Structure 1
Amino acid sequence: MDLITPGLGLVFWTVITFLFLLFILRKFAWKPILGAVSDREEGIKKALASAEDARKEMENLQADNERILKEARAEREAMLKEAREMKNKMIADAKEEAQEQASKMIEQAQAAIDSEKKAAMAELKNHVAGLSMEIAEKVVKTELANKDKQLELVESMLGEATLN
């Protein structure tokens, strides 16, 4: 029964041993353990702060990425709009130039037609004049072949000349 009910000496030496062990632990182990725990706690706080900073940085980067994407989309739209406007302007310029060239060609053709028409009219007049001269020559030859007709023609011309 000695083991179930400890004696006063055993309790005394157990308390002394406990206090001695407590003193040694406090002197040599407690401070390093508390320091390690404190360092560990500080490390965890720093890691949490770093993680929070990283999260904020990621949010900022994501916001920057969204802003950059929006700017890129806007720039792309502006470039496409400018390209469309340039294409439309080029088409309009080409149409205008083609219209001007067509007008010039029409004017040149009209001038050529007028020139050809005038040349044809002059040639026709010359031809008609030549034919008229030939006809008049033949008529005069036949009229002047007979002496009586020559005298009659001279008298009628003199009569007309005095009347005019």
Structure 2
Amino acid sequence: MELITPGFGLIIWQLLVFIALMFILTKYAWKPILNAVKSREAAIEDALHAADKAREDMKNLQADNAKLIEEARKEREKIVSAAQSAANKVKEDAKAEAQLITDKMIADAQASIEAEKRAALAEVKNQVAEFSVEIAEMVLRKELSSPQAQKELVDSYMADLKTN
């Protein structure tokens, strides 16, 4: 039974060794361990604060990025709109210029046709006048005594003119 119930001397020695061990551990081990645990706890808490701050900064950056993206989108829409209106204006200007050129070409062609028409009519009038003068000259050269002879002469001259 001695194993189950220790003796009084053993208990005192165990108590002295335990107190000495506690003193040594308190003086040399626990203070550095507690200081290390406290410093680790402070480091973990600082890391958590830094993570929270980084998370908040990330949210702010995401909000700023969203604003920048929206501003860029609006700016792009303005640029595209301006480019489309400029393209439409250039297209309308080109259409107007093409219409002016076409109208000028048509007017020039009509003027040219009218001038050629007048020239052709003038030439026809001149030829008719020449033919009339030639006929009158031929009539005057020949003596005509009777109206029947004059009519025959005019008919023959008209036949000559038609063949020419």
Q: Is the aligned partner of 1:133 residue 2:136?
A: no
Aligned match of 2:99: 99
Matches within 5 A, 1:1-164: 1-143=1-143
Moved more, 67-76 or 132-141: 67-76
Task: Find the aligned partners of 2:63 and 2:84 in 1 and give their Cα distance.
Answer: 31
Percent sequence identity is: 53
Partner secondary structure for residue 89 of structure 1: helix
Task: Find the aligned partners of 2:93 and 2:128 in 1 and give their Cα distance.
Answer: 51
* TM-score (ref. length: structure 1): 0.77
Paired residues, what number?
146
Unaligned runs of 5+ in 1: 147-164
Report the AA paired with residue 83 of structure 2.
A
Partner secondary structure for residue 16 of structure 2: helix
Task: Find the aligned partners of 1:94 and 1:32 in 2 and give their Cα distance.
Answer: 89
Task: Find the aligned partners of 1:102 and 1:29 in 2 and give their Cα distance.
Answer: 105
Moved more, 64-73 or 100-109: 64-73
Q: With CA pairs under 8 Å and 6+ residues apart, which has the higher RCO, 1 or 2?
A: 2
Q: Deviations over 1:45-94 (max 9, x none)?
A: 01111211221122122223322322332233223222322221222111
* TM-score (ref. length: structure 2): 0.77
CA RMSD of aligned residues (A): 2.2
Task: Find the aligned partners of 1:143 and 1:82 in 2 and give their Cα distance.
Answer: 92
Q: Deviations over 1:17-64 (max 9, x none)?
A: 222111111111111011100011011101111211221122122223
Report the AA paired with residue 124 of structure 1.
V
Moved more, 48-57 or 98-107: 48-57
Q: Deviations over 1:97-149 (max 9, x none)?
A: 11000111011112111211221122122111111111211222234789xxx
Partner secondary structure for residue 78 of structure 1: helix
Task: Find the aligned partners of 2:145 and 2:114 in 1 and give their Cα distance.
Answer: 45
